[in-house]
Amino acid sequence: MHQRLNPAERLHQRVFDGLYGSSLLYNACWEDPACDRQALRLGADDEVLVITSAGCNALDYALCGPRRVVAVDANPRQGALLELKIAAIRACADDEVFALFGAGRCPGASEIYRRRLRAQLSPAARRFWDGRIGWFAGRRGDSFYFHGLSGIVARLFRIYLRSRPGLRAAVERLLDSTTLDEQAAIYDAEVAPRLWTGFLSWAISRQTTMSLLGVPPAQTREVAAHHDASDPSSRSVAGFIRAAIERVFRLLPIQTNYFWTCYLRGGYTRDNCPEYLRPANLAALRSGLIDRIEVRTGTVAGILAADERPFSRFVLLDHLDWMGAHRPLELEQEWDLLLRRAAPEAIAIFRSARAEPPWLSTAKLEGPGGRVRLDERLRLDRDLAARLHRQDRVGTYGGFHIAHV
């Protein structure tokens, strides 16, 4: 049984739908592809279906040399971003690619776009970037990573840091730390006491903030209700986020965590960036691997219904949580299509607000003997998923799941 949205959640859902329907939501992927690679074990014969998001991970998977990578997103602006990245990799020098998508600041972006990139884009992508290529211009300390909805949150937090000089200095020391012990000590002694104010906890608990981060009301409810905390008062969105940040900054090396450092500093560094931005990998993509990426606008179910070729790997991000809570029949239809279109020994990975998503047992699919639970049609690799979840540098999901279908 799924829960109905209450009146406040319905209002927030309309706001979320309006934002999603008119804006670039993600300017960087918020899933760790190093974990995905271990789970997917991509080979030369694999055909991958991935939700596009910002396109970083579609490029990462292409570096593994699968036969094709189909990147699909219902938000056409996400596809426009991946198209721009592909065009830049094909037409620009390494330093220019890094200026655009590494530093997020390229003073010559408008001219590069007009002369070398625009002609490569689809009409829809051209319409989007014609009015927004200035996001990369880098004026007055600006960055591409401060644009789009998730970028607004990063920009607001940057403003907050400027208003708190002691916290800002402590965060910089944390980012510059070279050992995990030093990093944890700085976080405990200098960052945490200054960071977790009542105002910040209130701000990150607002559904408006969560919507800007791409989290719809139904998923926010899942996070708040099922955050596993020993102190009941911390079982909230703010409690979940605090626990996630503490794990990331105390237990995982910040020197290799390009996800958080990008948003805290407005860009990547040469030594701490997605794999596709490294010179050797740019060369590999240009050698033909990038031609294996297909950019589509639509839903996962729509692609599965229309594409006749089977897929052997599926990267479903966390959209199943929203469907399970909001559109359970569509979730069942999507999984039914996925199981019918999956190649032998296919693997699907997905993330969730919960360690055990309820829709795995409540969703019912047609089986040889009648309707059966979804989790009875899958073989979940819980041990590997749990190990990779502990390694995940993003750290903001309740669970990572690997399903053999």
Q: Is residue 104 part of a domain?
A: no
> Stretch 23-38: mean pLDDT, rounded?
96
Please give the pLDDT value at position 326: 81
Selected residue with higher pLDDT from 81 and 405: 81
Q: Is residue 386 part of a domain?
A: yes
Q: Is residue 98 part of a domain?
A: no
- Answer yes or no: are the C-beta atoms of 365 and 371 closer than 8 Å: yes
Same-domain check for residues 311 and 376: yes
**Where are the extended beta strands (E) located within 60-195?**
68-73
Most confident of 191-200, 295-304, 357-366: 295-304
**What are the two backbone dihedrals, phi and then psi, of residue 287, each rounded to the nearest 5 degrees?**
-75, -5
Q: Is residue 285 part of a domain?
A: yes
pLDDT tens by residue, 180-212: 999 999 999 999 999 998 888 888 777 777 767
CA max distance for the chain: 65
Same-domain check for residues 298 and 375: yes
Contacts of 227 (CB under 8 A, 6+ apart): 234, 235, 236, 237, 239, 240, 243, 398
Q: Specify the range with the lowest mean pLDDT, choosing from 19-23, 59-63, 315-319.
A: 19-23
Same-domain check for residues 240 and 299: no
Same-domain check for residues 376 and 285: yes
Last residue of a domain, one of 258, 287, 321: 258
Please give the pLDDT value at position 233: 47
Q: What is the DSSP string of 366-377?
A: EETTEEEEGGGS
By CB atoms closer than 10 A (0-12, 13-18, 19+), residue 41 is exposed
Same-domain check for residues 337 and 239: no
Selected residue with higher pLDDT from 11 and 275: 275
Same-domain check for residues 19 and 69: yes
Same-domain check for residues 63 and 23: yes
Last residue of a domain, one of 225, 258, 291: 258
Length of the chain: 405
How far is 95 from 101, CA to CA, in rounded Å? 10
Q: Mean of the per-residue pLDDT values for the chain? A: 90
How distant, in Å, are the alpha carbons of 132, 147, 259, 388 from that of 156? Answer: 20, 11, 17, 31
Same-domain check for residues 323 and 213: no
How many domains is the chain partitioned into structurally?
A: 2
Please give the pLDDT value at position 368: 76
Q: Is residue 290 part of a domain?
A: yes
What percentage of the chain has pLDDT greater than the value 90?
76
Looking at residue 5, the DSSP 8-state letter turns out to be P
Same-domain check for residues 285 and 351: yes
Six token digits for residue 381:
């690799």
Q: Is residue 263 part of a domain?
A: no
Same-domain check for residues 393 and 345: yes
Q: Is residue 270 part of a domain?
A: no
Alpha helices in 196-327, H assignment, sequence order: 198-205, 207-212, 217-226, 237-251, 258-265, 279-286, 300-306, 319-326
Looking at residue 314, the DSSP 8-state letter turns out to be E
How far is 233 from 77, CA to CA, in rounded Å? 39
Same-domain check for residues 287 and 387: yes
- Whichever domain contains 369, its CATH number is 3.40.50.150
Please give the pLDDT value at position 298: 96
Q: Is residue 137 part of a domain?
A: no
Give the range of the structural domain holding residue 41, as residue numbers without chain letter. Answer: 7-92+278-404
How far is 364 from 377, CA to CA, in rounded Å? 10
Q: What pLDDT band is residue 229 in, cutting at 50, 70 and 90?
A: very low
Please give the pLDDT value at position 3: 53
Same-domain check for residues 64 and 32: yes
Last residue of a domain, one of 258, 293, 327: 258
**Where are the extended beta strands (E) located within 34-130?**
47-51, 68-73
